[in-house]
Structure 1
Amino acid sequence: MGQVLLIRHGQASFGTDDYDRLSAVGQEQAVALGRALAGLTPELVVHGELRRQRETAEHAVAVAGWDAPVEVDPRWDEFEMVGSAARMARSSLTDAREFQAWYEAATDRWLAGEELEPGQEPYAEFTARTSGALAAVAEHGTAVVFTSGGPIASLSAGLLDGGQAAYRRLMPVMVNASITKILVGRRGMSLVQFNGHDHLTREQVTYR
Structure 2
Amino acid sequence: MCILYLVRHGQASFGADDYDNLSVKGQQQATLVGEYLAQKQLIPDVVITGTMQRHNQTAELSLASLNNTSAVINDARLNEYDHEHILAASNPELTTPSQVHAVLSKQVDPMEYFKTVFINAIEQWMLNPDSTLYKECFNAFCARVLGALEKIAKEHDGKKVIIYTSGGPISIITSHLMGLKLERFIDINWGLVNAGVTKVVARGRGSSRKLGISSLNEHHFLEQYPQQKLITYT
Partner of 2:184: 166
Structure 2 counterpart of 1:205, one-letter code: I
**Correspondence 1:120 to 2:130:** no
CA deviation after TM superposition for structure 1 residue 3, in Å = 0.4
Structure 2 counterpart of 1:192, one-letter code: S
Q: Distance in 1 between matches of 2:99 and 2:211?
A: 38
CA deviation after TM superposition for structure 1 residue 136, in Å = 2.4
* Matching residue within 45, 53, 56 for 1:54: 56
With over 3 angstroms needed to count, the CA separation of the structure-2 counterparts of 1:122 and 1:183, relative to structure 1, is: same
CA deviation after TM superposition for structure 1 residue 114, in Å = 6.7
Task: Summarize deviations over 1:141-174 as a string: whole Å, max 9, x none.
Answer: 1111100010000010000110135313211111
Q: Distance in 2 between matches of 1:157 and 1:79?
A: 16
Partner of 2:110: 95
CA deviation after TM superposition for structure 1 residue 103, in Å = 1.0
Alignment of 1:37-186 (within 5 A): 37-38=37-38, 39-81=41-83, 82=85, 83=88, 86-87=96-97, 90-91=100-101, 95-113=110-128, 116=131, 118-138=133-153, 139-140=155-156, 141-186=159-204
Partner of 2:91: none
Moved over 6 A (4+): none
CA deviation after TM superposition for structure 1 residue 177, in Å = 0.5
Structure whose alpha-carbon radius of gyration is higher: 2
- Number of residue-to-residue matches in the alignment: 208
With the length of structure 2 as denominator, give the TM-score of the two structures.
Answer: 0.82
Asked if the contact 1:109–1:115 (Cα under 8 Å) also holds between the matched residues in 2, the reply is no
Structure 1 counterpart of 2:138, one-letter code: Y
With the length of structure 1 as denominator, give the TM-score of the two structures.
Answer: 0.92
Asked if the contact 2:202–2:212 (Cα under 8 Å) also holds between the matched residues in 1, the reply is yes
**Correspondence 1:200 to 2:222:** yes
Asked if the contact 1:87–1:99 (Cα under 8 Å) also holds between the matched residues in 2, the reply is no
Q: Distance in 2 between matches of 1:114 and 1:165?
A: 10
Asked if the contact 2:17–2:97 (Cα under 8 Å) also holds between the matched residues in 1, the reply is no
Structure 2 counterpart of 1:206, one-letter code: T
Q: Distance in 2 between matches of 1:144 and 1:132?
A: 17
Mark the runs of 5 or more structure 1 residues left unpaired by the alignment: none
Asked if the contact 1:30–1:177 (Cα under 8 Å) also holds between the matched residues in 2, the reply is yes
Asked if the contact 2:10–2:194 (Cα under 8 Å) also holds between the matched residues in 1, the reply is yes
With over 3 angstroms needed to count, the CA separation of the structure-2 counterparts of 1:183 and 1:177, relative to structure 1, is: same
Partner of 2:17: 17
- SS in structure 1 opposite 2:198? strand
With over 3 angstroms needed to count, the CA separation of the structure-2 counterparts of 1:10 and 1:88, relative to structure 1, is: farther
Asked if the contact 1:14–1:88 (Cα under 8 Å) also holds between the matched residues in 2, the reply is no
CA deviation after TM superposition for structure 1 residue 118, in Å = 3.6
CA deviation after TM superposition for structure 1 residue 68, in Å = 2.2
